[in-house]
Amino acid sequence: MPDTINLAPGLASIALDTIPIIDIAPLLAGDMAPAAAIGQACREIGFFYIKNHGIPQELINRVYESARRFFALPAEEKEKSAIEHSACHRGWFRIGGENLDPAKQQQAGDLKEGFKIGRDLPLTHPRVQAGLPLHGPNLWPDLPGWRTVMQDYYDRLVELGKTILGAFAIALGLEKTYFEPWLGIPMTTLGPLHYPPQTGRITEAQLGAGAHTDYGCLTLLHQDSSGGLQVQGLDGRWISAPPIPGTLVVNIGDMMERWTNGVFRSTPHRVINISGQERYSLPFFFDPDFYAPVECLPTCLQPGEMPKYQPTTAGQHLLDMINASFKYHQEKA
């Protein structure tokens, strides 16, 4: 840790071999054997690493290079694709634009900026014409090759997310294809992030990403070498989740916890960039169709047990969560 950093009590993390690394090469070949280990990780901590995931490192490198090019632009250039210009929550949000932990008096929002890339639907698409929230065209910056690289990575992660969801189904005692009826037009979002280095006295008043659980179904994350991701263990201690070459981090979101009646765990996590350098990461949020019913799965309710959560839909759940974290979205609501 650089000498110029003074962490408030409770912000340091410990190194524990608690988050498993799961080889998913068999999954990609149609062998569902890794589903057992995936299910165990989802029940115990809600986080795991995957290796042999099939996403070429050369492509990941190009995505990072593209992200750096965009975030290095002057603010007036980034403003041209600002999220406030989008009708469907796409585009650039400035530092402080997202606040993942408002309960901790994080008045300035997270110390990061990001870019939301979703399913790129034309204005002529029936769902867009009907005004369905979170559906519509992306806001693409005017950078040569940027759209092509991001779209390639996005498309590959959509397919990987479907594979992981199939493993979830098996782990939950369901048919592998259980979720497929709700994956025709999934709400999937790639969100490159840029964290400036944080120095001086660091408190919960502003972190790179305040302590939070993810909104949706599952998250696939690639992080650069800077580190900073922390996951809260069952005992309340914060565990370091460092970057491991050749892996992606997978974690459960609130929607999947609701769907499984708490069987799969949506775990609090946060980011504190104390590396002394710029930090970049590539989270990908995989969520089902807007109309997918999110209610207790048949294998997740014991005899005599009542569901812990009220039924909702995937779309309404995401709208509720986005509204809680983005001030501009609150003002539009």
- Bridge partners (DSSP) listed for residue 48: 250
Which two three-digit tokens encode residue 304?
A: 């005599």
What is the per-residue pLDDT across 78-89, written as a single tens digit (0 to 9) for each? 999 999 999 999
What is the per-residue pLDDT across 239-283, written as a single tens digit (0 to 9) for each? 999 999 999 999 999 999 999 999 999 999 999 999 999 999 999
Coil/strand/helix, residue 333: coil
Coil/strand/helix, residue 221: strand
Whether the per-residue pLDDT at 100 is higher than 90: the answer is no
Q: What is the pLDDT of residue 280?
A: 98
- Bridge partners (DSSP) listed for residue 247: 51
Least confident residue range of 77-81, 90-94, 205-209, 267-271: 205-209
* Residue in 11, 5, 1, 47 with CA at minimum distance from that of residue 270: 11
The angle subtended at Cα 311 by Cα 169 and Cα 162, nearest 5°, is: 25
Instruction: Provide the residue range defining the domain that includes 317.
Output: 5-332
Q: What is the pLDDT of residue 17?
A: 84
Count the Cβ atoms, other than its own, within 10 Å of residue 54: 13
Which two three-digit tokens encode residue 132?
A: 């369905």
Contacts of residue 76, defined as CB under 8 A and 6 or more positions apart, other chains included, come to none
Q: How many domains does the chain have?
A: 1
For every residue of 168-204, which 3-state class applies, written as one string? HHHHCCCCCCCCHHHCCCCEEEECCEEECCCCEEECC
Confidence of residue 15 (pLDDT cuts 50, 70, 90): confident
Residue 237: give its domain's CATH number.
2.60.120.330
Average pLDDT in the chain: 93
Whether the per-residue pLDDT at 197 is higher than 80: the answer is yes
Which two three-digit tokens encode residue 97?
A: 């634009």
- E strand spans, 148-301: 187-190, 193-195, 200-202, 209-212, 218-223, 229-232, 238-240, 247-252, 269-271, 279-287, 293-294
Whether the per-residue pLDDT at 333 is higher than 60: the answer is no
Q: What is the pLDDT of residue 325?
A: 62
Which of the pair, 121 or 205, is modelled with greater confidence? 121
Residue 20 C-alpha from the chain's centroid: 18
* Position 115, amino acid: F
Coil/strand/helix, residue 248: strand
What is the per-residue pLDDT across 276-323, written as a single tens digit (0 to 9) for each? 999 999 999 999 999 999 999 999 998 888 999 999 999 999 998 888
Q: Position of tokens 């974690």?
A: 251
